[in-house]
Amino acid sequence: MCADIVIAEDDVKQAELVRRYLEHEGHAVTVVADGRAALEEVRRGEPDLLVLDVMMPRADGLDVVRILRAESREVLVLMLTARSTEDDLLLGLDLGADDYMTKPFSPRELTARVRTLLRRNRRPGAPVPGSAPAAVEDEALSVGTLRVDPARHEVSVGGTQIVCTPGEFRILAAMVREPDRVFTRERLLEELHGFDKYISNRTVDVHIMHLRKKIEPAPRRPVRLLTVFGVGYKLTDPAKKVRHAPS
């Protein structure tokens, strides 16, 4: 599928290389060289994807992601960085990045990551080439008062809409289809396909922590998104736990 993509990279040679590969895939590509320009371009053009270098002038990539998510911008973010420690990678994900690649990287791998992100997060009503219309897996599903609508990319709790990052949404969309099933961290990482193999299972824990802040009445005492110690997580209907004493 073709998409509108912004590349924010101050290394001219690196930006040109990425641009050529993405345009070869059929995408419309805009290149900017600093963080503020990246923010302005996303606000103006509402692109599908932002390929974002971390180390940039005027505003670094982490600040750009922080601001975009605070503004509830749903643009996909693929971060590029020379940093390689797990804490740096998790910080990017914690702020709302959807995928992360460390330099040096293969341009072919980058284009494959882009294809995966766009396919998994297509906008409502946008067809995937060769796909059949209105698959059953795109139907809205509920677990208690939590409702997930894959076709519209919407989440609500008790009728109140919740803003989720694409990564958070993928986790909920998988779990809502199989309530009470225990998902291992490895299984949930598959739903977050495209992340660097370097990143540990803590990636899932970061997303779960943020989801609890959004869908739980008391995030530190979750009743919907539960931990199964030593295994993983499950999504359940808290109302099912209510037991009335016989009259």
For residue 166, tell me if it sits in a domain.
yes
* pLDDT recorded at residue 30: 95
For residue 125, tell me if it sits in a domain.
no
Are both 96 and 177 inside the same structural domain? no
For residue 247, tell me if it sits in a domain.
no
Are both 94 and 197 inside the same structural domain? no
For residue 246, tell me if it sits in a domain.
no
Are both 183 and 221 inside the same structural domain? yes
Look up the CATH number of the domain holding residue 60.
Answer: 3.40.50.2300
* pLDDT recorded at residue 224: 94
Are both 148 and 109 inside the same structural domain? no
Are both 98 and 162 inside the same structural domain? no
Are both 162 and 209 inside the same structural domain? yes
At 146, list the tokens: 């939590």
Last residue of a domain, one of 120, 150, 165: 120
Are both 113 and 144 inside the same structural domain? no
Look up the CATH number of the domain holding residue 193.
Answer: 1.10.10.10
Q: Which domain covers residue 151, as residue numbers? A: 136-241
Q: What is the pTM of this model?
A: 0.59
DSSP codes of every residue in the chain: ---EEEEE-S-HHHHHHHHHHHHHTT-EEEEESSHHHHHHHHHHH--SEEEEESS-SSS-HHHHHHHHHHTT---EEEEEES---HHHHHHHHHHT-SEEEESS--HHHHHHHHHHHHHHTPPTTPPPTTPPSS-GGGS-EEETTEEEETTTTEEEETTEEE---HHHHHHHHHHHTSTTPPEEHHHHHHHTTTS-TTS-THHHHHHHHHHHHHH-SSTTS-SSEEEETTTEEEE--GGGG--PPP-
| Domain total of the chain | 2
For residue 42, tell me if it sits in a domain.
yes
Q: Indicate the angle between helix axes 86-95 and 61-70, nearest 10 degrees.
A: 30
* pLDDT recorded at residue 196: 45
* pLDDT recorded at residue 150: 83
* pLDDT recorded at residue 125: 41
Are both 99 and 34 inside the same structural domain? yes
Are both 54 and 115 inside the same structural domain? yes
* pLDDT recorded at residue 127: 42
φ, ψ dihedrals at 63, nearest 5°: -65, -40
Last residue of a domain, one of 66, 92, 120: 120
For residue 184, tell me if it sits in a domain.
yes
For residue 58, tell me if it sits in a domain.
yes
Q: For the chain of 247 residues, list the mean pLDDT of each consecutive stretch of 10.
A: 89 91 93 94 93 89 90 87 66 78 83 81 44 52 91 88 82 91 87 54 80 92 93 91 47
